[in-house]
Structure 1
Amino acid sequence: MAISARAARGLTRRQLLVRSASMAALAGLGSVARPYLSRAADRPAISGIQSGDVAGDSAVIWARADRAARMHVECSAVESFASILRTASADALPERDFTAKLLLDGLPPGQDLFYRIRFDDSDGVAGETRIGHFRTAPTDRRSVSFVWSGDVAGQGWGIDVARGGMRSYRTMLSERPDFFIHSGDHIYADCTIPAEQQLPNGEVWRNIVTEEKSVVAHSLDQFRGNYRYNWLDEHFRAFHAEVPMFAQWDDHEVADDWSPVGTADATGYDADGSSRLVARARRAFHEFMPMRLMPERDGRVYRKIAYGPLLDVFMIDMRSYRDSSWNKQGDPDDSFILGRSQLAWLKRELVASDATWKVLAADLPIGLVSLDAVALGDGPPARREREIADLLSFIKRASIRDTVWLTADMHYTAAHHYDPNRAVFQDFEPFWEFVSGPLHAGTWSPGALDNTFGPRAMYQKGCSAEQGDNLAPCFGLQFFGRVGIDGSTGVMTVTLKDVDNHDLFAVDIEPRPDARPGRIMAQHI
């Protein structure tokens, strides 16, 4: 099935004129819209809606139109919208690929809220309406649940409608979580999606294809086209309309294993040596993510999201500040995975946190051996491991309790328990790291752990040797994780799940009453 992301919209003469409109032409968008006087094809359409970075009194609302238009948002505590809590508007312009987002604030905490979106074009023609949902963070100790995963539309496995599309999103939605942490690789800008791929059983996987996903992304529109592609899936659209997302990125939003300096860039470099490819990828990422804008901090990805007294989520960026190569003969002082500024920020925020649980949402695991990640192999901390050792030692000295690491990237699921008694570096307290994904991409076999920080695989599941790596999503080895925090006991339950919602592994972790290491209450498969 072939769909051109541009041609499929069937542009009318009016739409073409509107698309070329300047900011001045949009100045009249605030006028009252003429309700549905034109044919449906002439009204602004919505390709998707989503919310994100939800706190106790605010949330980011995002949507994309099919032309230059003004987004109008209404927020209500009732699905009928009989009463309106907040209204706001923002422009969707060609220079942002017709995306628009805004911050709704002044919201009541701990409530299910509904938002209604409509776009009006420059002629005052009102478009279709879409309704979404999110839940604000509580101020009391009520129970919290969320899901996490990563890795979408990778290795050529796109949307095969006959095989159910991106089914993991439908499964996650059935959990009715408070929010979703996307651990990175929202797109695979460096992977094309062909019309067909051969399956090992002789069948054929048939993708929806678009012009932008037929090539490796280099231009800004090609990066944008990677994000637009995901919105073609019905489960993706339904999930994001109902569940707010906390987004971070990893390498494939730009290119495989990229770093800020030294990434090969056929598109060229600016005068300061920075990659134009990275700049385009970063711009597209921020246009399509429902993240709070931080222009004073150069659009950084790392941030803390407070979700009530039981939980603080620390969104870590292990891409933007890393060293430029894996030259082991280089100066170890020039080897970073977090960078000095981010590491200092993380330490300050961890000390300041009074939430029961501190979740460190990382885009890479810290104990799995990978040339692109942290772990070098057995032995004392070296190069990028030194920052992690510094952080873990600081957490121990500062008596910071109840930290849990969540990540994706490895295209299989695992539960790792870290213990200084098994480690070469021993100046830290035991902790858990959970790996999940892919959501909709090729599946790999489990990787090797090193002994620097003493991890032990308590559970892992991926491809078998017989199946081989890059197993297609239709074989059921697609994974996400669910976290539930009990409001009365504070116990955190982490469950690793598959696309069919089977519980693969679960562990209950009790919060520490003091600074001593936590006690595992129970675990089962």
Structure 2
Amino acid sequence: MKFLLSVLSVIIFSLNSFAQDINQHPVQLLSGPMVGHTTSSEANIWIETDKPAEVKIHYWVESGSRPIERGVANGRTNEDEPHTGVVELTNVPSGGTVHYELEIDGRPIRPQTIQSFTLLPEEDSFVDFKVAFASCMNPSRIPLQPIWTQVAVFDPDAFFLIGDNNYMPNSAEEYETSESTVKYAMGRYHRFLRDVPGLRTVLATTPTYGIWDDHDYGPNNSDRTFEWRELSLDLFKKYWPNPAAGTSDTPGIFYSFKIADVEFFMMDDRYHRDPNNAPDRKTMLGEQQLAWLKDQLQASTATFKVIVNGHTMSIDRKGSGEYWANFGTEREDFLNWMFSENIEGVFFLSGDWHVGSLSRVDFSDEGYPLYELISSNAGVHTVEADAHQYSRNRAVTGHNRNFDGPIVNDLDVYNFGLLEFSGDENDRSVVLKLIDHRGEVRVAHLLSQEDLRKM
């Protein structure tokens, strides 16, 4: 009997110890690091852990012209799931490469990729820099996406993911479940994007900014009537360390920021959108977001003002309810306002269509040509129907399109966009490029600041 009691005591002790070990296992890094909003002296590093944790970023700055400088920044991941967090690096010496390492609850985390980046140029400076952008990634369908190797090779100073960054369930019926289930699934879709090989390296080495389109907001062609839009907005803000998300008066994911003498206006085309099938649809952006955009454009002193949206803004696609011109007179009114207010230097970036193209629309004799660079299909299959429909529907109703750049719509060819800004203060220009997954430049067009002024 004593022997059996002794054995039983050992078993109970072992089980208690095992349970205690499980409860006290070291915090795990689930996702990241990702470099978020960055300036000439500050940067945000985003991570996700499996439970709340203290986070330290140890970093050192290598400039090549002065002694190495070291620093450490502290932060914490959220108490509630998802346990995401941002560590802010401040007063970082400019002009060098920032190398960094993670420490979670006092435990060093071995990097899974290179962890270094360069601070962005000072606002209002006139320097050369590059920005890359992409849209339409479906990691569950295409887990190996070759485009990210080429993005890294072209080494942009900043990187934008502009919508359909992941593909959540496509039909509205799939969201007819509990809030906890929807929250769980949405969080995993955001996280799995950051596990894509190659993209992980881009995110850890390049200041990255995001907006959404329908597939990473909710079901296909979703709008303001989506049942879980507040939950989707909350999760997006937790997974994307952007400089802002909407305003104190107007919810959404829209924001703006500057790199050198260029200002980027990142739009939200889902949260306020009228349903595509509504008989009286009037708005894609919503009255308050549109008022914000006008205020920001009027106040901007940037040479180039780049409006970035998940879906096309200047181009029409016949037969589709998604394009901006299908929402009453909102687009016409905005563009007429823009030219009447003499807002110079505007062009557009967009995605969604699973092709790449550069288009020019001569909207008004009172303004200048509207250029829109579409980069889509970074990680989805372009099917023959998509390519054919896009080619057939490029005509713009009611306006003269006298320039059509090449279309990148080859089957199973992936692409990303690249903007190369250069020139002196009074002679700035940008080259708009589309590059495929083999590194071939498929589209290249030079725009000078004079091209985006009234004729």
SS in 1 for 2:316: coil
Aligned to 1:151: 136
2:323 partner letter: A
Deviation string, structure 1 residues 434-463 (Cα, Å, up to 9, x no partner): 101111012131251322343456124354
Tell me which residue corresponds to 2:242.
291
Matched ranges for 1:67-466 at <5 A: 67-78=51-62, 82-85=68-71, 87-93=72-78, 95-109=80-94, 111-120=96-105, 124-128=106-110, 131-139=115-123, 140-153=125-138, 157-159=141-143, 165-191=144-170, 219-253=182-216, 254-261=218-225, 263=226, 275=227, 277-293=228-244, 296=248, 300-309=252-261, 311-328=262-279, 330=280, 335-366=282-313, 367-369=315-317, 370-376=320-326, 383-384=327-328, 386-420=329-363, 428-443=367-382, 444-445=386-387, 446-447=390-391, 448=393, 449-456=395-402, 458-463=404-409
2-structure distance, mates of 1:13, 1:153:
38
Alpha-carbon separation, structure 2, partners of 1:103 and 1:500: 36
Which secondary structure state, in structure 2, belongs to the residue aligned with residue 84 of structure 1?
strand
Q: Which runs of 4+ in 1 moved over 6 A?
A: none
Q: Distance in 2 between matches of 1:13 and 1:231?
A: 31
Retained in 2: the 8 A contact 1:44–1:128? no
Q: Which amino acid in the other structure matches residue 230 of structure 2?
A: A
Cα distance between partner residues in 1 of 2:87 and 2:322: 35
In the alignment, which of 439, 450, 453 is matched to residue 512 of structure 1?
A: 450
Q: 1:481 aligns with which of 406, 417, 437?
A: 417
Displacement after TM superposition at 1:289 (Å): 1.2
Q: Percent identity?
A: 18
Q: State the shift of 1:47 in Å.
A: 3.2
Q: Per the alignment, do residues 506 and 129 of structure 1 end up closer, same or farther by CA in structure 2, a change over 3 Å counting? A: closer
Q: Give the Cα–Cα distance (whole angstroms) in 2 for the partners of residues 419 and 434 of structure 1.
A: 15
1:47–1:66 contact (8 Å) kept in structure 2: no
AA of the residue aligned to 1:287 = K
Shift of 1:409: 0.6
> C-alpha separation between the residues in 1 aligned to 2:91 and 2:277?
47
CA distance in 2 between counterparts of 1:429 and 1:218 reads 49
For the residue of structure 2 that corresponds to 1:435, the secondary structure is: strand
Give the equivalent residue in structure 1 for 2:13.
none
Instruction: Provide closer, same or farther for how the CA distance between residues 289 and 134 of structure 1 changes in structure 2, counting only shifts above 3 A.
Output: farther
**TM-score, normalization by structure 1:** 0.72
Partner of 1:219, secondary structure, is: helix
In terms of mean alpha carbon deviation, does 51-60 or 73-82 score higher?
Answer: 73-82
Separation in 2 of the partners of 1:436 and 1:400?
25
Q: In the TM superposition, what is the alpha-carbon distance from 1:94 to its structure 2 partner? A: 5.5
Match of 1:53, SS state, is strand
Deviations 1:110-129 (CA, angstroms, capped at 9, x unpaired) = 55433332211xxx555445
Shift of 1:492: 0.7
Q: Is the 8 A contact 2:137 2:377 kept in 1?
A: yes
The unaligned stretches of length 5 or more in structure 1 are 1-11, 19-40, 160-164, 193-216, 264-274, 377-382, 465-470, 518-525
Q: C-alpha distance in 2, partners of 1:486/1:111?
A: 20
Structure 2: 5+ residue runs without aligned partners?
1-17, 172-179
Residues 1:99 and 1:56: Cα distance change in structure 2 (over 3 Å)? same
The residue identity in structure 2 corresponding to 1:170 is T
In structure 1, C-alpha distance between the alignment counterparts of 2:170 and 2:445, rounded to whole Å: 35
3-state SS in 1 of match to 2:195: coil
Alpha-carbon separation, structure 2, partners of 1:514 and 1:281 = 36
**Which residue is 1:268 aligned to?**
none
Q: Residues 15 and 418 from structure 1, CA distance in 2 versus in 1: closer, same or farther, beyond 3 angstroms?
A: farther
Alignment RMSD, CA only? 2.8
CA contact (8 A) 2:361 2:399 kept: yes
Contact 1:57 1:137 in 2 (8 A): no
Which residue does the alignment assign to 1:503? 441
Checking the alignment, whether the CA contact within 8 Å between 2:101 and 2:109 is kept in structure 1 is no
